[in-house]
Amino acid sequence: MTDRRTPPSSSAGGRTPRGSARRGSVAAIDVRGWVGGIRLSGFMVIMLSLVVLGAWVLVPTLGTYLDQRQRITVLEQSVHVTQDKIDALKAERKRWEDPAYVTTQARERLYYFKPGEVVYLIDNDIDPAAQPKDEAPISDTAQERRADWGDQLLRSLTGAGLAKTATSTR
């Protein structure tokens, strides 16, 4: 087999420049000719350096600007949420200034009543459709099941806290 590489250039002293010929390539690329075709004037060099300097100065400034705009947006949303909470608290404070509201809250929350009133406290007045159904009949034999007592305790506590209770005063 014959080697089909390009002949070495005479200007390089019989050697091919580094990177100009690859193994198995048919033609060599002359980088010197391409780079030699670019002509740089003094004005072009100054303008190119000004563009690079401007990019070097403006890119961090632009990043800081975008970061600050994002923070401002988040803080404005926080201000709106806080203002909504303030408005709700002002409305509730206004309700507490009404004697009828205070009386109603004392009756419902604290079970207070006026002297001479008869209060009836009704237990289990939940709608039958809302009551839990029995899952399975109770067996006569004891069965051992693996259960995590922590999960059972947590379910019991949350179930007791979320149970619906109603009171009625007459």
pLDDT value, residue 71: 96
Give the tokens for residue 163. 């149970």
| 1 or 49, higher pLDDT | 49
End-to-end C-alpha distance for the chain, whole angstroms: 114
Q: Are 164 and 126 in contact (CB under 8 A)?
A: yes
57-102 tens-digit pLDDT: 888 888 889 999 999 999 999 999 999 999 999 999 999 999 999 9
Mean pLDDT of the chain: 78
pLDDT value, residue 86: 97
* Domain definitions of the chain by residue range: 8-39, 41-112
Q: What is the band of 168 on the pLDDT scale with cuts at 50, 70, 90?
A: low
Across 35-39, 83-87, 160-164, which has the greatest mean pLDDT? Answer: 83-87
Q: What is the band of 12 on the pLDDT scale with cuts at 50, 70, 90?
A: very low
How much is the average pLDDT of 25-52? 77
Does pLDDT of 35 surpass 60?
A: yes
Does pLDDT of 15 surpass 70?
A: no
Angle at 115 between CA 112 and CA 119, to 5 degrees: 55
DSSP secondary structure, 104-129, as one string: HHHHHHH----TT-------S-S-TT
Q: Are 94 and 88 in contact (CB under 8 A)?
A: no
